[in-house]
């Protein structure tokens, strides 16, 4: 009889917190009696097969994640108060080598247990000579079992125990190394919307003895990641299952994992999923009366009037009433015609969860002044089930800059006096306005301070106008105030300078009004003394306003000509300095712009010849304004030009120091010589203002080997001209800001498009200052054209800025194409232009 009274030498393994995915299997011992069977059914078993934590890794890294699996503990049961293992296993054994395992029996009852056992039947398993076993309550007995293999095969035997209640056995098994992978029998994926993606994870465990390659076979639209891999013994890896359904159905499929030698073994998992159609309702948040938010496939979001350069925000509401998440995407509808991208939606895609609402912002930042802009956004949920077309509309308004007065009269002063007058400039709009007076205050007898600046919305700025004459003559200059994104303003500056010896006629604002009327009637080419004589001889008359007119011989009354209303843009571009003019200039100078280029020295640059022409029938006096330290000057500084004659002048340039940039606008005033004495004027209506001549000069003193300063600037350039009727000009403005700490020169490069007119064509921008340019073009033909012009900085050919700007079709044709957006784009004409459509497309466009 064998008894055991020692404590249990085999402590129970500590419980692990790892999650197990296999279900527990119940043990049913072979019993020879009904009592044994009923006792066996009450015995439980536990197993830990795969230590897989079901967590989704951050991001979308599709990597195989392996981790150790908890070793299996021996499955135990309690039969008639005796705790014993179900099976003893031998693994990793060697031929001819004995291996001993101990079978542990423990008395879990409160009475002494008596039993006996039979030895194994085969000769490969054996134990000590069978003897009766007596176990006191709580006592453990260990029975050694010896295994001695003779060949490489799997061995199976049983060790039987006999008690008064019946018989039970313990399986003895010695197995060879094998491949074995296990996975859950089924996997349910979350409910998914058509066109969306659902995903789930499960663990694939290697419970075999060998490293095992695996390869998954799965049907579409399921995907398994990783689909292949190597799994070491005792490890497990997470498998990601994804589904991208194309139809709203129930998906059920089986995925098979092949493994083992030559992929002859397999395990499978049943995949189940359900796909439903998502629904997305689009509405406008905080609707306005001009919005259209009726039920249907198209909605209209109206931004109203927005100031140029400002950004307006509107929101749309997306509601998901379905039971699945609704992924969506928002796209700008493609357009076959060039346009400003004034509308934007930062939310290109997203997801609306079931029953939730989200708000999406749409922004409008217009760049084309006085233009109604329209665009389309398509809002498409997953699966393209129900697309919603959102039409966005907005109108662009510019700044509203105005002057307190449009004429500043310094009256008459004595030579040497420097009077000043105040004038305010105001911006009545909400947007910020950039303004600049086109006058070189250092080289002119008139100065405006500040001559440039910015005006935020609803603000006013005080300007200081000064008058510093150098000669005793009449002074008049019409100065243009350029405003970014607005038509220019004009300010008339006038004054008369007297000296002890020279007393010219006093110029008054009324004389300007008479002069413009005489300009329309062709009388300004006659000097005041001739006009006075003609008035005495009744060859001229005066109208009700006091202006001169030629008597009409027509018996039918014909109204006298008046000065026309000239648009500001037309007056600015047609000022007589180019080939176009509203009225022929009485006095002109050629050239009006001179570039000396590189003058590094030490020789003084050669003077440039100028030609000053007198187109009037009277003798004129010309006086140039010159600052003492100006690097440019004209000789002679004063001269007389006979009627209908010209005179030669010289423009000189002397750089003040090496390696510098120089640019200036020189100024001259031409008046009738008879106006130099007020005693020569008999009729006040014959007094006319002086003519201001301007000459732009530039040059630099950099050596060829030296690098020119690198320009640092901000450029707000247009990309598209506004559509205008055929034959009418289209205008845009351009803003250049000097961001550097040095002077910045800019000029229009010669290789620019000839269809572009840039005014001014050059400029010198101080650090922190800005220069405003106006661009003009005329549409030619019924084509979409792209003009390219180049700005050159700091006299250096390397510092070129390419600026493309598109010219749309005439306004009437653009409207036709706007109505036929679905039409095919007409072919490109030579030079990158879209030719006119022909046939049915042209007929359809004309009908629209």
- Tens digit of pLDDT for each residue in 617-662? 999 999 999 888 899 999 999 999 999 999 999 999 999 888 888 8
Q: Can you count the helices (H) and strands (E) in the chain?
A: 6, 61
More confident residue, 78 or 402: 402
In the three-class reduction of DSSP (H, G, I as helix; E, B as strand; rest coil), residue 637 is classed as: coil
Q: How far apart are CA 217 and CA 224, in angstroms?
A: 9
Query: Cβ-count burial of 696 within 10 angstroms (0-12 exposed, 13-18 middle, 19+ buried)?
Result: buried
Say yes or no to pLDDT of 820 above 60.
no
pLDDT given for residue 782 in this prediction? 64
Tokens found for residue 303? 């931004």
User: Which residues have C-beta within 8 Å of that of residue 827, sequence separation ≥ 6?
Assistant: 834, 835
Q: How far apart are CA 112 and CA 108, in angstroms?
A: 10
Torsions phi, psi for 472 (to 5 deg): -80, 80
Say yes or no to pLDDT of 362 above 90.
yes
Q: Is the dihedral of CA 445, 449, 452, 455 positive or negative?
A: negative
Which of 209-218, 225-234, 721-730 is predicted with the least confidence, judged by mean pLDDT?
721-730
Query: Cβ-count burial of 234 within 10 angstroms (0-12 exposed, 13-18 middle, 19+ buried)?
Result: buried
What pairs with residue 349 in β-bridges?
A: 329
CA proximity to 185, closest of 207, 204, 211: 204
pLDDT digits (tens, 9 = 90+) for 516-572: 999 999 999 999 999 999 999 989 999 889 999 988 776 566 778 888 899 999 999
pLDDT digits (tens, 9 = 90+) for 713-723: 999 988 888 77
Q: How far apart are CA 218 and CA 182, in angstroms?
A: 17
User: Which residues have C-beta within 8 Å of that of residue 253, sequence separation ≥ 6?
Assistant: 218, 219, 222, 270, 271
CB atoms within 10 A of CB 702: 20
Q: In the chain, what percentage of residues exceed pLDDT 90? A: 41
What integer is the mean pLDDT of 36-47? Answer: 35
Residue 340 pLDDT level (bands cut at 50, 70, 90): low
What integer is the mean pLDDT of 278-300? Answer: 82
Most confident of 134-138, 632-636, 833-837: 632-636
Q: How far apart are CA 319 and CA 355, in angstroms?
A: 7
Which of 90-104, 493-507, 756-770 is predicted with the least confidence, judged by mean pLDDT?
90-104
Say yes or no to pLDDT of 213 above 80.
yes
Q: Is the dihedral of CA 753, 757, 758, 761 positive or negative?
A: positive
Task: Dump the DSSP string for 305-349.
Answer: EEETT--EEEEEEEE--SSS-EEEEEEEPP-SS-----EE-S--E
Say yes or no to pLDDT of 411 above 90.
yes
What integer is the mean pLDDT of 692-709? Answer: 86
Say yes or no to pLDDT of 8 above 90.
no
pLDDT given for residue 63 in this prediction? 44
pLDDT digits (tens, 9 = 90+) for 585-614: 999 999 999 999 888 877 888 999 999 999
What integer is the mean pLDDT of 377-396? Answer: 83
DSSP single-letter state for residue 64: -
Residue 779 pLDDT level (bands cut at 50, 70, 90): confident
Per residue in 309-321, is it b (16+ CB within 10 Å) or e — as a string? bbeeebebebebe
Q: What is the mean pLDDT of the chain?
A: 82
What integer is the mean pLDDT of 728-756? Answer: 88
Q: How crowded is the C-beta side of 257, counted as CA atoms within 13 Å?
A: 30
Q: In the chain, what percentage of residues exceed pLDDT 70? A: 84
What integer is the mean pLDDT of 6-25? Answer: 35
Say yes or no to pLDDT of 3 above 60.
no
pLDDT given for residue 296 in this prediction? 62
Q: How far apart are CA 204 and CA 802, in angstroms?
A: 61
pLDDT given for residue 7 in this prediction? 38
What integer is the mean pLDDT of 826-831? Answer: 37
Which of 28-37, 299-308, 322-331, 374-383 is predicted with the least confidence, judged by mean pLDDT?
28-37
Say yes or no to pLDDT of 282 above 80.
yes
pLDDT given for residue 405 in this prediction? 93
**Spatial contact of 507 and 405, defined as CB atoms under 8 Å apart:** no
pLDDT given for residue 620 in this prediction? 96
pLDDT given for residue 403 in this prediction? 96
Say yes or no to pLDDT of 419 above 90.
yes
What integer is the mean pLDDT of 478-502? Answer: 94
pLDDT given for residue 786 in this prediction? 82
More confident residue, 601 or 181: 181
């Amino acid at each position: 009889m064998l008894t055991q009274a020692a404590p249990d030498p085999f402590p129970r393994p500590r419980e692990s917190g790892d999650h197990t995915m296999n279900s527990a299997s119940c043990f049913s011992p072979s019993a020879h009696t009904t009592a044994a069977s009923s006792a066996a059914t009450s015995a439980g078993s536990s197993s830990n097969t795969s230590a897989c934590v079901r967590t989704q890794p951050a991001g979308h890294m599709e990597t195989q994640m392996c981790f150790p699996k908890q070793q299996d503990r021996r499955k135990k049961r309690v039969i008639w108060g005796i705790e014993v293992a179900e099976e003893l296993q031998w693994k990793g054994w060697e031929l001819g080598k004995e291996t001993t395992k101990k079978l542990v029996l423990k008395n879990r009852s409160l009475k002494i247990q008596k039993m006996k056992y039979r030895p194994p039947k085969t000769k490969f398993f054996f134990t000590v000579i069978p003897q009766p076993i007596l176990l006191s309550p709580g006592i453990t007995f260990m029975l050694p079992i010896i295994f001695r293999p003779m060949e490489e095969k799997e061995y199976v035997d049983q060790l039987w125990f006999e008690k008064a209640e019946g018989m039970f056995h313990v399986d003895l098994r010695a197995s060879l190394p094998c491949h074995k992978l296990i996975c859950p029998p089924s996997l349910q994926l979350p409910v998914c919307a058509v066109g969306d993606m659902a995903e789930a994870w499960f663990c694939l465990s290697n419970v075999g003895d060998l490293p095992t390659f695996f390869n998954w076979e799965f049907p579409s639209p399921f995907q398994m990641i990783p689909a292949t891999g190597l799994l070491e013994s005792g490890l497990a890896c997470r498998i990601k299952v994804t589904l991208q359904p194309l139809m709203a159905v129930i998906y059920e499929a089986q995925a098979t994992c092949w493994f083992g030698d030559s992929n002859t073994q397999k395990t499978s998992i049943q995949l189940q999923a359900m796909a439903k159609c998502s629904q997305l309702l689009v509405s406008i948040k905080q609707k306005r009366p001009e919005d259209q938010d009726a039920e249907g496939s198209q909605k209209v979001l109206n931004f109203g009037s927005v100031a140029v350069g400002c950004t307006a925000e509107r929101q749309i509401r997306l509601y998901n009433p379905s039971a699945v998440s609704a992924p969506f995407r928002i796209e700008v509808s493609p357009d076959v015609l060039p346009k400003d991208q004034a509308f934007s939606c930062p939310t290109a895609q997203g997801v609306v969860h079931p029953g939730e609402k989200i708000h999406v912002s749409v922004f409008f930042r217009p760049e084309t002044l006085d233009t109604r802009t329209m665009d389309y956004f398509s809002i498409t949920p997953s699966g393209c089930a129900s697309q919603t077309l959102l039409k966005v509309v907005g109108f662009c308004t510019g700044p509203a800059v105005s002057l307190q007065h449009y004429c500043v009269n310094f009256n008459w002063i004595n030579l040497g006096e420097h009077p000043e007058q105040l004038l305010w400039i105001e911006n009545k709009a909400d947007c910020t306005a950039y303004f600049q007076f086109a006058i070189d205050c250092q080289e002119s007898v008139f100065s405006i301070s500040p001559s440039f600046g910015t005006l935020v919305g609803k603000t006013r700025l005080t300007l200081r106008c000064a008058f510093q004459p150098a000669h005793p003559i009449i002074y008049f200059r019409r100065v243009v105030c350029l405003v970014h994104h607005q038509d220019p303003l004009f300010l008339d500056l006038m004054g008369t300078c007297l000296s002890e010896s020279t007393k010219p006629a006093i110029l008054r604002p009324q004389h300007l009004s008479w002069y413009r009327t005489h300009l329309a009637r062709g009388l300004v080419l006659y000097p005041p003394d001739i006009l006075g004589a003609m008035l005495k001889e009744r060859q001229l008359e005066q109208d009700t306003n006091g202006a001169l007119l030629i008597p009409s011989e027509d018996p039918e009354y014909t109204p006298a000509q008046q000065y026309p209303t000239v648009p500001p843009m037309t007056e600015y571009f047609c000022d007589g300095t180019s080939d176009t003019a509203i009225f022929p200039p009485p006095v002109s100078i050629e050239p009006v712009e001179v570039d000396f280029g590189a003058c590094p020295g030490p020789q003084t640059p050669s003077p440039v010849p100028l030609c000053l022409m007198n187109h009037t029938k009277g003798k004129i006096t010309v006086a140039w304004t010159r600052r003492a330290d100006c690097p440019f000057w004209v000789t002679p500084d004063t001269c007389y030009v006979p009627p209908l004659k010209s005179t030669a002048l010289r423009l000189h340039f002397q750089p003040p120091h090496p390696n510098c940039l120089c640019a200036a606008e020189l100024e001259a005033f031409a008046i009738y010589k008879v106006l130099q004495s007020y005693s020569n004027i008999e009729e006040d209506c014959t007094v006319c203002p002086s003519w201001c001549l301007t000459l732009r000069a530039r040059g630099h003193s950099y050596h060829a080997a030296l690098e020119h300063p690198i320009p640092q600037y901000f450029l707000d350039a247009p990309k598209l001209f506004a559509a205008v009727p055929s034959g009418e000009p289209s205008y845009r403005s351009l803003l250049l800001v000097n961001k550097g700490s040095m002077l910045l020169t800019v000029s229009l490069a010669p290789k620019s498009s000839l269809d572009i007119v840039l005014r001014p064509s050059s400029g010198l921008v101080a650090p922190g200052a800005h220069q405003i340019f106006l661009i003009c073009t005329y549409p030619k033909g019924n084509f979409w054209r792209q003009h390219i012009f180049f700005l050159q900085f700091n006299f250096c050919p390397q510092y070129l800025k390419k600026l493309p700007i598109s010219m749309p079709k005439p306004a009437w044709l653009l409207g036709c194409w706007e109505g036929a957006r679905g039409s095919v784009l007409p072919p490109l004409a030579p030079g990158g232009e879209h030719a006119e459509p022909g046939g049915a497309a042209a007929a359809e466009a004309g009908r629209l």
